[in-house]
Structure formats: C-alpha cells, structure tokens
Amino acid sequence: MDKPLENKGRAVAAAPETGPVEEDTWRNLDRLFHATLGRMTLSLSPAAIALAWLDWLAHLSVSPGKQLLVAQKALRKALRVALYSSRHALDPGTPLCIEPLPQDSRFRDPAWQKPPFNYIQQAFLNYQQWLHNLTTGVRGVQPRHEEIVTFMTRQILDAFSPSNFPWSNPVVLQRTLQEKGMNFFRGYMNWLEDLERRLGNRPPVGAKKFRVGREVAVTPGKVVFRNELMELIQYSPATEKVHAEPLLMVPAWIMKYYILDLSPHNSMVRYLVEQGHTVFMISWKNPTAEDRDLSFDDYRRLGVMAALDVIGDILPGRKVNALGYCLGGTLLSIAAATMARHDDDRLRSITLLATQTDFTEVGEIGLFITPSQLTWLEDVMWSQGYLDISQMTGAFSMLRSNDLIWSAMVQEYLLGERRPLIDLMAWNADGTRLPYRMHSEYLEHLYLNNDLAEGRYEVEGRAISLGDITAPIFTVGTTKDHVAPWRSVYKIHQLARRAEVTFLLTNGGHNAGIVSEPGHPRREHWIHTRKVEDKYVEPELWQALAEHREGSWWPSWQAWLAGQSSGMGKPPALGSKNYPPLEDAPGTYVLQH
C-alpha cells in the first residue's frame, strides 16, 4: 500500500532530486495532515466531496434546458403549496398535496396535520422533492458523483428539517406548554450526560443492564482454543442427541460475536443448541495499534482455518456446517473457495447472513469507497494503527440519519425522553477496532476493485474462484439492509454456479432482520432454492417464484441445516485431549475494550 507509484508513459530523470527517505518524509507529512483533518470530517475526504460538487455544478451550468426545467418545477411546487394552503384554510379536509415517503416518520403525529404546521411540512416536502430533481438527471455527471451530491444534499436538508427545531415542531411545542419547559431542562441534562460519557469513552445510558456474560452472551460453553487473533467457544449441548455435523459460526470482526448470542430469548446460539446442534463460535480479539499489520489473510488462517483444525481434533472425521455473518461471511466465502481449490472437503454446507461477495451494488455505503476516500481513510488508520468504532459509526449513521441521529436528538434533547435501551442497541455500542492493513486490503481489493467476484483475489499467491465451491449454500438477505443490500447479497447466484443455493429474504435491517427469533412480531420471509442445473433468474423474478412464509426465518433455516445432517448421536465432550477447556464462555476477548 505504501509503495511509490510507478512512472508509466513518461521519462524519468536520471538523478532524482530527492531520495526515498526524503520522499517518505513528505508523504508522511501529507498523511499526518489528512489524519488530523479526517478526525474532524468523520474520515470523509473533502477532495472527493468537492470533486462531486464541481462535476455536478459544471455540467448544470452548461445545461440551460435543465435549468429552465428546475425553475419551472420550483414555480409549480410553490403554486401547489400556496393552493393547498388556501384550500385547507377553507376546507380542513383538503388532502395533502404531497405525501411523505413510506420510511419517513417525522410528520406522522396528528399535530402535523393542523395549521400552520401542515403548511410548514408540505412546503418542506415539496422543497425536498425539488432539490432531488435539481441534483439528479444532469446529463454528463458521473453516476457516482451524482449519488454523492444527492446524498450530501439530503444530509444537509435532513439537518434543517422543521421537525428538528422546537419552534416548528408542534409535538415539542405541546410538550413544552404542558410541562412549562421542563422537557428542555431534562433534555439539557441528557445532553450533558451523553457528552460526559462520550468524552470519557463510556457506554451509553442503560448499557449496564446488558453485561456480557451475565445478561447477554450467557449460553453455557467453554473456550477450547485461543490464539493471538481469536478464541474458539464450544457450547454445551442442550439435548440428549445432537446432529452429527457441528456448526462453526464466523461473525464479523467489525462487531462482537454476541449479536448471535444476545439475551436468552433471542439468542441464535441458544436456539440452535436446543435444536440439537453442536455449535462452535469464533470470538475475535479487539485489535490495538500493535496489531496494525494483521492482514485479511491472517483472519482466514488464524480464524476460520485454525477453528476448523481444532474442531477436526475434537470431532475427528466429521464434516462441518459453517456460518458467516456480514464480513465474516465474506471471509468464510474466501476460505471455502481456497479449500475447494485444494480439494479440502471439510465443509458440509455454508450459510451466509447479510454477506456480500460481489461489491458492484453495495448501496450508499459505496459512496464512501472511492480512490480519494480510500486514501483519506488509510491515512487516518495509518496514524493510529486501526480504525476505531467511533470513526465507523458516523458514516453508518449518516445512511439513516433521520432514524439514528435526528429523531433521537428530538426525543432525548427536545422532548427530554430517554429511549429505552434494548440488548441489540447495547451490543451496537460495544464496538471494536479494525487493523490498518486488514481494513485497507478489504476496502481496496473487495469494495474498490471487486477482485473476489472478478476472479483476481489471490490467496497464497494464486487467484481463487467462488465457482469452485460445491457445498450447498444458504444465503439470507434483509429487505432494509443499508450495509449489504439484498440484491447485492443475491449475486452469490451468479458466482457459485456449481453449488445449490437456497436464498431467503426476510424483512428487517442488517442486524434486526438477522436477530429475528421465533415469536418476533411482524416477521415474514421468502425462500427459494436454485438447483445447480437451474437457470439464473433476476431478483425481481426470484421474488415472484419464492415461497412466502409468515414468522421468523430461523425455523426455515434450521430445517435446511438439519437436512444437511447425516444423523443424530450422543453429544460430544467439551474440548479434547489436545484442546482442553481453558475457561467458561464468553471468554476473555469479547470483554476487551
């Protein structure tokens, strides 16, 4: 990553003015400057944003037709709002002239339907629509630049929504009159408490109710192996007989593993052991600056492959069902393709949860992955040796700023009401770090260059192909995933052509859609299996072919997983002679901060 660029197509001076050492000095000065500024910009590159705006503005300035069109639209929308306001003054039953988007909950309270607040929100929504027309459809603008301009415009507009200010939010005004301003006092106290916790690097209010190993991550088990990168947990059996094939769970190291073992009522691990599965879990170390040179392949070797070796010693001769979640699923896919290249057939099946293997359609998160942006982010990581969770949270929160930033601000600081913290929110606040080298490789080779899908990703000096995988694959996508959009996850159909692929789509988001235990209200899913000999069908046609089922997706997957079993037998002991139990679950690494 740090090698100087080769000079191609131009003459090179015989005697360079500066040597390598001096060049590194100047380069490091640039990096320090980028890293310092990046801490104030949420690691976003000002250059990337400026290029996008300049591209849009330059093309708009030489597009008189587009200018006249948006001017006409501005006049029409202003007249529409004026006409609605006049009619509503005479007839309160007048329908709105524009409806909020289905996912926009800012103006759902009935108080927003009364004057003058209905006029305010209608003017805002029309202006929002007009700005979208202004920033899109300008001929000649690069698609990525148009997406960045649209995204940044939406962020600015959302910040100035009338729902965010007490004088234009009827709900806040009503509460203020009722409580004689005490809501602002409570909000101010909430703000001070949150600020003090952020400055002290302490968890949010209410997180103490979800202590790891006490209220969450409490499924019984033992740590049976530990190396410099991960601990391997083997969970205690909960049934008299278990399926012959164990299950290895590979979570992402961008998160702590216990999202798969939350509270007892919504723990996937507990559900699986109660269904007769022998479950192993990788618990990743939380890296520090000393781990800056850990590579992506180190996670494969010291994580997935080391875990398979240990499981093979504890349960000799058994094939393994493997599950990967998010980034852990991408790692598992790479490990499986490498194993297939070497005719290593230890995997009985593969389950991928919200996992991308093709990175051409990654949604809005891709706006943060450009050569300019990657350089900026690398310099931030280079200066400290890792990417901190706080530096990731800002970018992810912007993808759903209305829900994760502004709505929370209104509720906690203007209404003075603390949102009740649930186990999933407490887990989300228990962040991890990402090593400098690993994250740089991940972003460059997968997100930026799409090397895995296009056959260029190398392991041990040779390119691998997901097309070599023959083990059955079960893939889960979620309808509201902003991190791994389900149509991107669906691309596994095109890459794993020699494997039978069962694809399941469930409602919910990247995390809440996965943590969807039986009995969870308002859950539904669609499922369909593509045989190896079947033709490819696009996502829209797949939806028409898929079987719709009400309720949690866990039983549907568990039935498929049980179908991969060769029978039932006596539960195995925890650990083995070579790998005796080291300590009780959840182990040590998950407690690192």
* Tokens standing for residue 314: 């504890």
Class of domain 221-360+450-567: alpha beta
The neighbouring-strand residues paired with 462 are 459
The arithmetic mean of pLDDT across residues 84-113, rounded, is 91
How is 37-72 classified by DSSP, letter by letter? HHTTTTT--HHHHHHHHHHHHHHHHT-HHHHHHHHH
Around Cβ 470, how many Cβ atoms within 10 Å? 15
DSSP code of residue 306: H
Q: How do strand 242-243 and strand 501-506 relate by DSSP bridges?
A: unpaired
**Beta carbons of 526 and 548 less than 8 angstroms apart:** yes
Q: Tell how strand 583-584 and strand 221-226 pair up.
A: antiparallel
* Helix 20-38 / helix 371-384 crossing angle, nearest 10 deg: 100
Give residue 70's pLDDT: 97
What's the pLDDT score for residue 12?
41
The mean pLDDT value for 289-295 works out to 94
Diameter of the chain measured on Cα atoms: 84
> Rounded CA gap, 42 and 399, in Å?
13
**Sign of the CA dihedral 286, 292, 297, 301?**
negative
Model confidence at 33, pLDDT cuts 50, 70, 90, reads: confident
Work out the average pLDDT over 144-163: 92
Is the predicted pLDDT of residue 476 greater than 60, yes or no? yes
Distances (CA, A) of 66 to 130, 139, 469: 13, 9, 50
Q: Do 146 and 136 form a contact (C-beta atoms < 8 A)?
A: yes
Cα–Cα separations (whole angstroms), residue 162 to 16, 106, 158, 352, 406: 59, 9, 9, 41, 11
pTM of the predicted model as reported, rounded to 2 decimal places: 0.90
- Give me the DSSP letters along 417-430: -PPPPPHHHHHHHS
Residues tagged active-site: 326
Q: SS3 of 389, please?
A: helix
Pinpoint the residues of the chain covered by CATH 3.40.50.1820.
221-360+450-567
Mean pLDDT score of the chain, rounded to an integer? 91
Task: Classify residue 216 by burial, with Cβ atoms within 10 Å: 0-12, 13-18, 19+.
Answer: buried
Q: Above pLDDT 90, what percent of the chain? A: 77
pLDDT exceeds 90 at position 131: yes
| pLDDT for residue 7 is more than 70 | no
Question: Residue 14's pLDDT is what?
Answer: 46
pLDDT at 18: 53
Query: What string of DSSP letters covers 505-557?
Result: EESS-TTTTTS--TT-TT-EEEEEEE-TTSPP--HHHHHHHSEEEES-SHHHH
At residue 380, φ and ψ (nearest 5 deg) are -65, -45
Tally Cβ neighbours within 10 Å of residue 218.
Answer: 20
In degrees and rounded to multiples of 5, residue 226 shows phi and psi of: -150, 135
> What is the mean pLDDT of the segment spanning 521-532?
96
Give residue-wise pLDDT tens across range 428-454: 889 899 999 999 999 899 999 999 999
Q: pLDDT tens digits, residue range 43-92?
A: 678 888 899 999 999 999 999 999 999 999 999 999 999 999 999 999 98
For 56, 57, 59, 134, 154, the CA distances from 71, given in Å and listed in that order, are 17, 16, 16, 9, 20
First to last CA, the chain: 28
3-state helix, strand, coil in the chain (%, to 5): 50, 10, 40
Burial (Cβ within 10 Å: 0-12, 13-18, ≥19) of residue 59? middle
Rounded CA-CA distance 160/171 in Å is: 17
Confidence of residue 392 (pLDDT cuts 50, 70, 90): low
The pLDDT value recorded for residue 273 is 98
Among residues 232, 230, 229, which one has the least CA distance to residue 290?
229
